[in-house]
């Protein structure tokens, strides 16, 4: 049996999980520094989530998609209330790829155009339109993608390709150049640009301050919609409720997924009344089996309850500062650590040197042997980059344990 994905199966069979830890069938304890698939922001088997699932599964789990339930109505209302105007119209789905698929489909219908722009290191999903807008992996060997998908350079402040006078990344010139290429290739049908505020699978690349506003302006000039994919950054992980808040930019369409269900499959597409009305008038269709399911909507409401009650936006900012400080101390002792970046509890650690790929794989294996689950992404032109995303409920002692294990793995 092989893992049909970016890597290999872990050698351990996981028996159960609780909080920040996984427990194997043979009794090993593993600290989870990826929150499952970057999703379990409340840790594993959070008691409030467990109670909600037990209660909801016994009363109302699944409905015909044309029927509404109280959990769905409440979650839509609360998501709208958590966002700036005019983001107030909500469609509830199952996965991140599905929400991006729905958002892109909506943008094409509303604008009457078909061309989609995304970053050259993007990851938006494995379904058709989402995969066409994904450039970090998975494009080779499947035949032609849909016409009209274009990539622009991803801003990498550690490895700048356009240099300012001081040697830093001149992201404005890079962005201008990217859209010069888009304009040259476009047939005049630019519909939307879809990006992550922090490119996670792209190596934890945080967009520079000011970049998102400049990108939105590029979209406005061309009559394009701006879609923000906050699958991994939404709902407090970066220290803000939504990562785009830092930049004072409101997207035309927002997609949420992983963090909304804290490990269970629920996603959302959120847009303005104007865009929703235009889509409705033009016969927008996105019909899936599990649209607006009450079970996972109830879980989404519980996630919002816990995030609000426990002030986990503030907690993520505090723990992120603590974790970054510990990683900087490791960088002082380990020359292999070339860069530390990210926000809140979504941090990237890039390994440098000619053998960075091999070193990253070896450190990942050694961490697991020592009781720490780490994830490393390896892309052309980049050293291996660890994506560190522990639960927002983690304790400082648990983060310290992870740092100790990473230190030992790097040392060995």
Q: Are 83 and 90 in contact (CB under 8 A)?
A: no
Among 115, 170, 229, 313, which one carries the catalytic annotation? 229
Give the active site residue among 32, 98, 101, 196.
196
Residues near 56 by Cβ (< 8 Å), separated by ≥ 6? Answer: 71, 294, 295, 298, 299
Whether 229 is catalytic is: yes
Closest CA to 275 of 21, 45, 102: 102
What residues form DSSP beta bridges with 13? none
Is 258 annotated as catalytic? yes
* Options 56, 123, 237, 350, the catalytic residue: 123
Q: With 0-12 CB in 10 A as exposed, 13-18 as middle and 19+ as buried, what is 5?
A: exposed
- Alpha helices, H only, 14-95: 35-38, 47-57, 70-81
Among 108, 113, 222, 387, the active-site one is 387
User: What is the C-alpha separation between 236 and 308, in angstroms, rounded?
Assistant: 10
Residue 196 annotated among the catalytic residues of the structure: yes
CA 269 – CA 99 distance, rounded (Å): 6
Of the candidates 121, 258, 341, 343, the residue annotated as catalytic is: 258
Instruction: List the catalytic residue out of 56, 174, 232, 315.
Output: 232
The 3-state DSSP class for residue 19 equals: strand
Helices (H), strands (E): how many in the chain? 13, 17
Alpha helices for 222-342 (secondary structure H) = 258-261, 273-281, 294-309, 312-333
First to last CA, the chain: 31
List active site positions. 123, 196, 229, 232, 258, 387
């Amino acid at each position: 049996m092989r893992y049909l994905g970016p890597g290999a199966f872990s050698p351990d069979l996981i028996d159960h999980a609780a909080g920040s830890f996984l427990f194997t069938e043979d009794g090993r304890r593993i600290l989870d520094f990826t929150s499952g698939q970057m999703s379990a922001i409340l840790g594993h088997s959070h008691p409030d989530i467990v109670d909600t699932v037990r209660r909801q599964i016994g009363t109302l789990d699944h409905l015909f998609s044309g029927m509404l339930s109280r959990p769905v109505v409440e979650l839509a209302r609360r998501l709208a209330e958590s966002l700036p105007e005019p983001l107030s119209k909500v469609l509830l789905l199952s996965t991140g790829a599905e929400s991006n698929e729905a958002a892109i489909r909506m943008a094409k219908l509303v604008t009457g155009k078909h061309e989609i722009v995304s970053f050259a290191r993007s990851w938006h999903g494995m379904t058709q339109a989402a995969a066409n807008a994904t450039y970090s992996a998975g494009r080779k060997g499947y035949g032609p993608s849909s016409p009209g998908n274009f990539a622009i350079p991803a801003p990498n402040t550690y490895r700048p390709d356009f240099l300012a006078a001081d040697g830093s990344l001149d992201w404005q010139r890079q962005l201008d150049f990217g859209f010069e290429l888009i304009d040259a290739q476009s047939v005049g049908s630019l519909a939307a640009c879809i990006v992550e505020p922090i490119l996670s699978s792209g190596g934890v690349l945080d967009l520079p301050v000011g970049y998102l506003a400049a990108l939105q302006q590029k979209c406005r000039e061309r009559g394009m919609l701006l879609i923000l994919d906050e699958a991994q950054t939404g709902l407090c992980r970066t220290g803000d409720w939504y990562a785009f808040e830092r930049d004072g930019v409101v997207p035309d369409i927002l997609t949420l997924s992983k963090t909304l269900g804290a490990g269970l499959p629920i996603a959302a597409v959120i847009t303005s009344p104007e865009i929703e009305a235009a889509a409705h008038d033009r016969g927008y269709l996105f019909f899936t089996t599990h649209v607006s399911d009450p079970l996972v909507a109830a879980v989404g409401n519980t996630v919002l309850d816990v995030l609000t009650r426990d002030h986990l936006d503030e907690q993520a900012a505090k723990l992120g500062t603590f974790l970054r400080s510990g990683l900087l101390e490791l960088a002082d002792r380990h020359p292999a650590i070339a860069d530390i970046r990210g926000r809140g509890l979504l941090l990237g650690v890039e390994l440098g040197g000619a053998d960075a790929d091999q070193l990253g794989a070896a450190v990942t294996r050694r961490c697991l042997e020592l009781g720490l689950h780490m994830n490393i992404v390896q892309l052309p032109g980049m050293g291996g980059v660890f994506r560190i995303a522990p639960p927002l409920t983690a304790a400082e002692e648990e983060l310290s344990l992870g740092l100790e294990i990473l230190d030992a793995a790097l040392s060995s």
